[in-house]
Amino acid sequence: MLRGLPSVDRVLSDPVGMAAAQRFGRAAVTEAARKVLAELRSAPAAGMPVILPDAAGVAESAAQWLEARDQPQLRPVFNLTGTVLHTNLGRAQLAEAAIEAAVTAMREAVALEFELGTGRRGERDDLVRSLLCELTGAEDATLVNNNAAAVLIALNTLGAGREAIVSRGELIEIGGAFRMPDIMARAGVALVEVGTTNRTHSRDYRGALRPETGLILKVHTSNYRIEGFTAEVAAPALAVLAREHGVPLLNDLGSGTLMDLSRYGLAREPTVREAIAEGADLVTFSGDKLLGGPQAGFILGRRDLITAINRNPMKRALRVDKIRLAALEATLKLYRNPDRLTARLPTLRMLARSQAEIEAQARRLVTAVAACLPAGMTVDAVPCASQIGSGALPLNTMPSYALRLTAHGGGALEQLSAALRALPTPVIGRIRDGAMLLDLRCLSDEARFLAAMAALPAAHELA
Ligand SMILES: *Cc1c(COP(=O)(O)O)cnc(C)c1O
């Protein structure tokens, strides 16, 4: 029976095969056709009933396989997890102005390290340096690949071969193996821990200061809180101590916001401007956390120290490319008009959405979503709590609203979760109390979401 299968040559000379070859290349279609034919040959053994396809049919299957293989691996998803800055889902979604600037930088030659005024070689960081200083009051600024890199190069520049003093309460681990003691070791800095997990005093730092001290490091405990019987030395007091002993104070803010978030009903997080004003010699923070821009790490502060960092050979290895520089410049410029920020910057827009607005959205969507669900599954609108994510304000949640999908029967919830992830635009929610919660805080395009949900398979097709 298998002798009826077309040859690879027949598949390639069929009009469907020729069209596929135009699109994917002859070699790829040949490979895909061989694959399809090999599967058909093995099908009877696997017990599948086979109606032998003709050359056009094989060409069609080959083209489909090639099409599927060409799908981008970095797929857009609906982030309905309730975590606005979800590291595993790419953190900040950029502002339109940033997207446009990045696209231009990708498409065109740009004056990246070229002074248009003089025609001389320029510095790529100059594009955002004065903007950063203007927005934060810092004397000077530089930037690198991400905040982990910012901490690494700052430590290495200030403290290589010397010691850095850190409170035991601040020896953080951020997800993805960023552990302060390990970063210190890689930076060539000897870690001197002071105080205890819950209490560190001025005298602890003072007792550790000696000629070998290269710097004092303060780390914002961005993804946890130590509560109860606690004491820490605030940055202003540490700055005084550091100055007395002639060593720099490095304050790693982590999330680092340029705005007072209480303006949006969120808890106060120290702003970068405040951290600079408190007397830190250097301050580091991320570009894609609360700032709402692309991945980057900023180092702001004393000009002599920034100059030293820029001369560190590591700088070349950690530098930021033109695409991100363009997006950063556009993002930072939005901060010149704080009143329009929530309209223009998706991160802040999502953080600032009120529960009432999200509830109205949930109630609008519930009937249409019910119509998309496989039989035996139900949906209702329920209050929930979202979080900022990426280690910002770990204990503060924002009241929000979710679509709660309930699946009845053993394994049904896992099946539903898998089906949502398998959609052409996957929908990522979170499982809570035996149901799938789709927190709508980060949903802006309702029509696209409903179109995605409409592709859910029927109950009997669920894996
Ligand atoms: C997030 C964070 C980092 C790492 O920043 P990335 O931008 O993720 O590299 C370092 N320190 C603190 C305190 C952080 O919160």
Partners of 427 in beta bridges: 78
Q: What is the pLDDT of residue 298?
A: 98
Q: What is the pLDDT of residue 190?
A: 96
Please say if the pLDDT value at position 39 is more than 80.
yes
Q: What is the pLDDT of residue 255?
A: 87
Whether residue 412 is found in the same domain as residue 368? yes
Whether residue 417 is found in the same domain as residue 326? no
- What is the widest separation between alpha-carbon atoms in the chain? 91
Does 293 contact ligand 1 (Cβ within 6 A)?
A: no
Whether residue 239 is found in the same domain as residue 108? yes
CB 136 within 8 A of CB 258: yes
Whether residue 225 is found in the same domain as residue 322? yes
What are the residue ranges of helices labelled H in 81-163? 96-107, 126-136, 147-159
Residue with the smallest CA separation from ligand 1 atom 1 is: 254
Between 64 and 223, residue with greater pLDDT? 64
Element (H, E) at 282: strand 282-286
Of 344, 360, 384, at which residue does a domain stop?
Answer: 344
Residue with the smallest CA separation from ligand 1 atom 2 is: 254
String of DSSP letters for 414-444: HHHHHHHHTSSS-EE-EEETTEEEEEGGG--
Whether residue 317 is found in the same domain as residue 392? no
Pocket test for ligand 1, best of 152, 222, 272, 288 (most atoms within 8 A of CB): 222
Q: Which CATH number fits the domain that encloses residue 323?
A: 3.40.640.10
Pocket test for ligand 1, best of 147, 220, 257 (most atoms within 8 A of CB): 147
Residue 27: give the domain boundaries: 2-69
Q: What is the pLDDT of residues 343-370, one digit of tens each?
A: 999 999 999 999 999 999 999 999 999 9
Q: Which CATH number fits the domain that encloses residue 453?
A: 3.90.1150.110
- From residue 102, alpha-carbon distances to 157, 335, 356 in Å are 31, 18, 35
Whether residue 150 is found in the same domain as residue 291? yes
CB 401 within 8 A of CB 384: yes
Rounded to whole angstroms, how far apart are CA atoms 379 and 373?
8
Q: What is the pLDDT of residues 21-30, one digit of tens each?
A: 999 999 999 9
What number is the average pLDDT over the span 312-324? 97
User: How many A from CA of 132 to the centre of ligand 1?
Assistant: 18
Residue 414: other Cβ atoms inside 10 A = 14
Whether residue 394 is found in the same domain as residue 430? yes
Q: What is the pLDDT of residue 270?
A: 83
What number is the average pLDDT over the span 127-138? 96
Whether residue 101 is found in the same domain as residue 30? no
Please say if the pLDDT value at position 47 is more than 80.
no
Q: What is the pLDDT of residues 135-154, one digit of tens each?
A: 999 999 999 999 999 999 99
Does 81 contact ligand 1 (Cβ within 6 A)?
A: no
Q: Which residues, at least 6 apart from 272, have a Cβ–Cβ distance to it below 8 Å?
A: 135, 136, 138, 253, 256, 257, 258, 283, 285, 298, 300
Which numbered atom of ligand 1 lies nearest the CA of 172? 13
Whether residue 334 is found in the same domain as residue 365? no
Whether residue 259 is found in the same domain as residue 147? yes
Q: What percent of the chain has pLDDT over 90?
A: 81
Tokens of 220: 């914002």
Between 364 and 262, residue with greater pLDDT? 364
Tokens of 145: 């690949």
Does 220 contact ligand 1 (Cβ within 6 A)?
A: yes
- Looking only at the bridges linking them, the beta strands covering 173-174 and 178-179 are antiparallel
Q: What is the pLDDT of residues 171-220, one digit of tens each?
A: 888 777 788 899 999 999 999 999 998 999 999 999 999 999 999 999 98
User: How many A from CA of 85 to the centre of ligand 1?
Assistant: 13
Burial level of 114, CB count in 10 A (0-12/13-18/19+)? middle
Does 286 contact ligand 1 (Cβ within 6 A)?
A: yes
Written as one letter, the residue type at 460 is H
Q: What is the pLDDT of residue 269?
A: 80
- Looking only at the bridges linking them, the beta strands covering 427-428 and 430-432 are unpaired
* pLDDT tier at 49, thresholds 50, 70, 90: low
Please say if the pLDDT value at position 134 is more than 90.
yes
Does 218 contact ligand 1 (Cβ within 6 A)?
A: no
Q: Does pTM surpass 0.95?
A: no
Does 284 contact ligand 1 (Cβ within 6 A)?
A: no
Which numbered atom of ligand 1 lies nearest the CA of 219? 13
Q: How far is CA 235 from the centre of its chain?
A: 28
Phi first, then psi, for residue 408 (nearest 5°) are -100, 135
Q: What is the pLDDT of residues 396-427, one digit of tens each?
A: 889 999 999 998 887 889 999 999 999 999 99
Whether residue 265 is found in the same domain as residue 207? yes
Query: Hey, what's the torsion of the CAs at 458, 460, 461, 463, to 10 degrees?
Result: 120
User: How many A from CA of 23 to the centre of ligand 1?
Assistant: 43
User: How many A from CA of 24 to the centre of ligand 1?
Assistant: 42
Rounded to whole angstroms, how far apart are CA atoms 410 and 416?
11
Pocket test for ligand 1, best of 151, 167, 170, 178 (most atoms within 8 A of CB): 178
Structural domain total, the chain:
3
Q: What is the pLDDT of residues 296-312, one digit of tens each?
A: 999 999 999 999 999 99
DSSP class of residue 411 equals T
Residue with the smallest CA separation from ligand 1 atom 11 is: 254
User: How many A from CA of 286 to the centre of ligand 1?
Assistant: 6
DSSP class of residue 248 equals -
Q: What is the pLDDT of residue 58?
A: 95
Whether residue 250 is found in the same domain as residue 234? yes
* pLDDT tier at 46, thresholds 50, 70, 90: low
Rounded to whole angstroms, how far apart are CA atoms 101 and 114?
18
What number is the average pLDDT over the span 83-88? 94
